[in-house]
């Protein structure tokens, strides 16, 4: 659309306040009740809730369509001027009316018309110039990029006429010598209004006072005294009575204005209270976000703040389930117990492409919906959705999506079934301002919950992993990213090899379940001894059916690892007294050897095992075999282990058993035995004299 000078007109830019259209709606409902105003609003793409919002603005295109159909429906070509007159004192323009009344006189109200008009239109600017005590010139200059219609000039005429009626109860007289629709560059209005009663009687009093003063002064010199005194009394009475009546008129007008200002004060206080509550709501939701990382506690605090700070009878939050296929009622306020039970039992199906409910549409489209009359959307709802709304008892409501970074988390729903307060665009805008903060709060709480669950899973996996790999190895891999898993290293260790004596024969009469239970119970206690006694420096590397191999000094280096291994062996022997096998206390054999070993992950790319390899482990196993021949010595050590134990309090009790030949080794090995019962120690020579031949030891 273009103007006369060829400039493009702003047909889609918001230019006209919602109060202007609402004036028309109120006028039609009062004087044309047979006209379907909803169809006219729909034709102009005007929503009911937008009318209720005094901060909403409409475009030139919308008001043109509204005016076009309104004239056809009413058949009244002068309806714009009539609405302008009506609008000066209508409920829709109450704020403007109160603003005008604040200036106490029509002259002052017209004088500030340029400021008053800015609250109603952005399409033009106004100027006013006083021409007399009851006459003023008002000019309207339409912006160059706006294409205005003649009906809008008529509406201005009506409004200027109506302002005077607020004060004088009569319309003003308007002269319109220049108009943009008649070739002028502006619209010029000369407004003349009747004087108010107080103004007229004040003038009368002033004139009477002046005339009386002059008359009394002249008669003083020419009239008899009695006549002069009578004249003075008469004039004084006349001036006094006119003054009293003028004051009464003035007080009546003032009382009327004050009464009107009472409503303005109430509106102002309500606005202050609303802004305070909105600010407090944002603050309290923010505090809840900082205080609570539990989703349930967070939502409870948020709904409590919504109930306390917002002017809605009811409200609720619906969130998606785990697989995002359903919207579920989570928490709310204002609902009766029976109704809340219904809400908890009702699910909105997000995975149904044919679902047409408002909640589902808001969730999918990520845009809010405001409905002030259910009848307006009945045709767009499925029978199931309509039935649910009727069960809930919602007549008007706002449904706002809760969205975090373009991902819908749920919806926020509010309505007013009790107060019946119409919902407006401001209500919807407020909720859309709160919803992202709620979304951030919910996302943070959910993220924290997932983090806690992840930490719990990690802890469980770590504990499970520690059953297969020593904790120091796990820590080393976690602390060293990119570490070669197949890298080995040589370390000085002490190997402890244990075997249960005659377990196979003794367990033949036992059930398989009992065998496993017996071994697990015993190995569990042995593991506690090996790990605890060394502050977790030792660990069982592998189990051999009815025995195990324990390592001290790896994967972390350990001083005095031979002493730790020996102490563990002694405590394990004491533990065996509590386990009965074959009708007697269980017996074990333990071999201990100190030396070097290669430790690291052994295996393939598909499966690896952290372990130790080398002659040290084989030697410990062979020393354990010697205990089968030397029953009095359940613990047999190598010379290397024996030397490491020097200074140990039980070192003198260890007996030398002489040199022994071990299969696969050329050199003979010194063996040392220990008996916890405290058998007298032998010299090396004595020990060699009583040793059995090695060839008689089974398995060597």
Determine the average pLDDT of the residues in 270-275. Answer: 69
Residue 266 has pLDDT above 80, yes or no: no
pLDDT-based confidence at residue 700 (cuts at 50, 70, 90): very low
Report the pLDDT value the prediction gives residue 253, as an integer from 0 to 100.
65
Residue 600 has pLDDT above 80, yes or no: yes
Report the pLDDT value the prediction gives residue 237, as an integer from 0 to 100.
81
Determine the average pLDDT of the residues in 159-180. Answer: 83
Count other C-beta atoms under 10 Å from residue 391's C-beta: 12
Residue labelled with tokens 């998606």: 320
Q: How far is CA 443 from CA 283, 387, 401, in A?
A: 18, 33, 14
Residue 181 has pLDDT above 80, yes or no: yes
Residue 473 has pLDDT above 80, yes or no: no
pLDDT-based confidence at residue 271 (cuts at 50, 70, 90): low
Residue 297 has pLDDT above 60, yes or no: yes
pLDDT-based confidence at residue 569 (cuts at 50, 70, 90): very high
What stretch of H or E contains 192?
strand 187-192
Residues 126-155: pLDDT tens digits? Answer: 888 888 878 888 888 888 888 888 888 888
pLDDT-based confidence at residue 484 (cuts at 50, 70, 90): low
Residue 517 has pLDDT above 60, yes or no: yes
CB burial of residue 42 (10 Å; 0-12, 13-18, 19+): middle
Determine the average pLDDT of the residues in 548-562. Answer: 90
Q: Where do runs of H (alpha helix) occur along 480-614?
A: 503-506, 512-532, 561-576
Determine the average pLDDT of the residues in 332-344. Answer: 90
Please measure the distance between the N-terminal and C-terminal CA atoms of the chain and give it in whole angstroms: 109
Determine the average pLDDT of the residues in 154-174. Answer: 82
Cβ neighbours of residue 158 closer than 8 Å, sequence gap 6 or more? 80, 81, 82, 83, 84, 85, 86, 87, 88
Mean pLDDT lowest for which of 81-95, 317-331, 567-581, 649-663? 81-95
Relative to beta strand 655-661, strand 668-674 is: antiparallel
Residue 4 has pLDDT above 50, yes or no: no
Average model confidence (pLDDT) across the chain: 81
What is this structure's pTM? Answer: 0.50
Report the pLDDT value the prediction gives residue 492, as an integer from 0 to 100.
94
Residue 256 has pLDDT above 70, yes or no: no
Structure token pair of residue 660: 């022994």
Mean pLDDT lowest for which of 462-471, 566-575, 599-608? 462-471
Residues 611-624: pLDDT tens digits? Answer: 889 999 999 999 99
Residue 690 has pLDDT above 50, yes or no: no
Question: What does residue 693 show for φ and ψ, rounded to 5 degrees?
Answer: -60, 140
pLDDT-based confidence at residue 112 (cuts at 50, 70, 90): confident
pLDDT-based confidence at residue 8 (cuts at 50, 70, 90): very low
Cβ neighbours of residue 32 closer than 8 Å, sequence gap 6 or more? 73, 74
Determine the average pLDDT of the residues in 105-125. Answer: 79
Residues 352-366: pLDDT tens digits? Answer: 888 878 888 889 998
Report the pLDDT value the prediction gives residue 33, as an integer from 0 to 100.
80
pLDDT-based confidence at residue 684 (cuts at 50, 70, 90): very low
Query: H/E/C letters for each residue in 298-341?
Result: HHHHHHHHHHHHCCCCEEEEEEECCCCCEEEEEEEECCCHHHHH
Determine the average pLDDT of the residues in 472-480. Answer: 68
CA dist., res. 223 & res. 242, Å (int): 26
pLDDT-based confidence at residue 633 (cuts at 50, 70, 90): very high
Q: Where do runs of H (alpha helix) occur along 57-176?
A: 60-74, 79-87, 94-101, 106-111, 113-117, 150-168
Determine the average pLDDT of the residues in 643-672. Answer: 87
Q: Is 125 helix (H, G, I), strand (E, B) or coil?
A: strand
Considering only residues 519 and 198, tell me which one the structure prediction assigns the higher pLDDT.
519
Determine the average pLDDT of the residues in 90-117. Answer: 63
Going by C-alpha positions, the residue among 468, 474, 609, 615 that lies closest to residue 555 is: 474
Count other C-beta atoms under 10 Å from residue 674's C-beta: 26
Say how many CA atoms lie within 13 Å of 453 toward its Cβ: 7
Q: What percent of the chain has pLDDT over 90?
A: 17
Residue 37 has pLDDT above 50, yes or no: yes
Mean pLDDT lowest for which of 74-78, 91-95, 298-302? 91-95
CA dist., res. 391 & res. 417, Å (int): 12
CA dist., res. 292 & res. 618, Å (int): 59
Determine the average pLDDT of the residues in 631-636. Answer: 92
Determine the average pLDDT of the residues in 59-64. Answer: 90
Considering only residues 235 and 650, tell me which one the structure prediction assigns the higher pLDDT.
650
């Amino acid at each position: 659309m273009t103007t006369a000078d060829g400039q493009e007109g702003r047909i889609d830019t918001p230019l006209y306040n919602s109060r202007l259209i609402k004036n028309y709606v109120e006028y039609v409902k009062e004087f044309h009740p047979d006209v379907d105003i909803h169809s006219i609003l729909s034709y102009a793409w005007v929503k009911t809730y937008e009318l209720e919002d005094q901060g909403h603005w409409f475009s030139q295109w919308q008001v043109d369509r509204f005016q076009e159909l309104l004239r056809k429906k009413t058949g009244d070509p002068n309806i714009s001027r009539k609405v302008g007159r009506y609008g000066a004192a209508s409920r829709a323009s109450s704020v403007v009316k109160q603003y005008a009344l604040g200036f106490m006189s029509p002259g002052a109200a017209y004088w500030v018309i340029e400021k008053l008009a800015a609250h109603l239109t952005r399409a033009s600017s106004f100027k006013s110039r006083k021409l007399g005590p009851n006459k003023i010139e008002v000019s309207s200059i339409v912006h160059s990029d706006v294409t205005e219609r003649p009906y809008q000039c008529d509406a201005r005429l009506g409004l200027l006429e109506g302002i005077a009626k607020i004060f004088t109860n009569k319309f003003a007289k308007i002269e319109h010598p220049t108009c943009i629709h008649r070739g002028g560059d502006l619209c010029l209005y000369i407004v003349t209004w009747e004087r108010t009663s107080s103004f007229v009687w004040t003038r009368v009093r002033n004139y009477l006072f002046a005339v009386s003063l002059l008359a009394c002064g002249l008669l003083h010199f020419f009239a008899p005294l009695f006549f002069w005194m009578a004249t003075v009394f008469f004039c004084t009475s006349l001036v006094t009575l006119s003054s009293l009546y003028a004051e009464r008129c003035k007080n009546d007008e003032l009382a009327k204005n004050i009464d009107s200002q009472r409503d303005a004060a109430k509106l102002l206080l309500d606005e202050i209270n609303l802004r305070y509550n909105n600010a407090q709501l944002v603050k309290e939701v923010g505090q809840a976000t900082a205080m609570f990382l539990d989703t349930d506690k967070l939502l409870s605090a948020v709904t409590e703040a919504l109930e306390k700070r917002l002017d809605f009878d009811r409200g609720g939050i619906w969130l998606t389930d785990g697989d995002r296929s359903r919207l579920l009622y989570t928490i709310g306020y204002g609902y009766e117990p029976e109704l809340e039970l219904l809400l908890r039992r009702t699910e909105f199906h997000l995975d149904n492409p044919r679902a047409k409910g408002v909640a589902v549409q808001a969730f999918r489209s990520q845009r809010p919906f405001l409905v002030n009359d259910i009848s307006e959307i009945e045709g767009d709802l499925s029978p199931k959705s309509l039935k649910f709304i009727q069960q809930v008892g919602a007549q008007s409501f706002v449904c706002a999506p809760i969205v975090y970074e373009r991902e819908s988390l749920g919806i926020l729903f509010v309505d007013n079934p009790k107060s019946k307060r119409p919902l407006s665009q401001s209500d919807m805008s407020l909720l859309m301002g709160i919803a992202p903060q709620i979304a951030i709060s919910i996302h943070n709480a959910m993220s924290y919950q997932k983090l806690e669950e992840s930490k719990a899973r990690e802890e469980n996996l770590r504990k499970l992993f520690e059953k297969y790999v020593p904790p120091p190895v796990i820590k080393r891999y976690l602390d060293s990213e990119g570490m070669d898993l197949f890298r080995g290293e040589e370390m000085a260790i002490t190997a402890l090899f244990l075997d249960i004596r005659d377990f196979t024969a003794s367990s033949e009469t036992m059930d398989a379940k009992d065998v496993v239970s017996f071994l697990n119970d015993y190995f569990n206690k042995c593991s506690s001894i090996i790990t605890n006694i060394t502050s977790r420096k030792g660990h069982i590397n592998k189990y051999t059916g009815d025995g195990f191999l324990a390592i001290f000094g790896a994967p972390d280096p350990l001083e005095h690892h031979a002493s730790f291994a020996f102490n563990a062996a002694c405590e394990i022997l004491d533990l065996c007294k509590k386990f009965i096998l074959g009708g007697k206390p269980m017996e074990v054999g333990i071999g201990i050897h100190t030396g070097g070993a290669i430790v690291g992950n052994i295996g393939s790319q598909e499966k690896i095992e952290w372990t130790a390899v080398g002659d040290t482990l084989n030697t410990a196993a062979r020393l354990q075999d010697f205990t089968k021949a030397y029953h009095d010595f359940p613990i047999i050590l190598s010379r290397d282990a024996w030397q490491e134990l020097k200074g140990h309090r039980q070192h003198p009790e260890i007996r030398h058993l002489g040199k022994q030949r071990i299969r696969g080794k050329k050199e003979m090995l010194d063996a040392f035995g220990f008996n916890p019962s405290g058998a007298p120690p032998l010299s090396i020579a004595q020990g060699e004299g009583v040793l059995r031949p090695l060839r008689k030891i089974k398995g060597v």
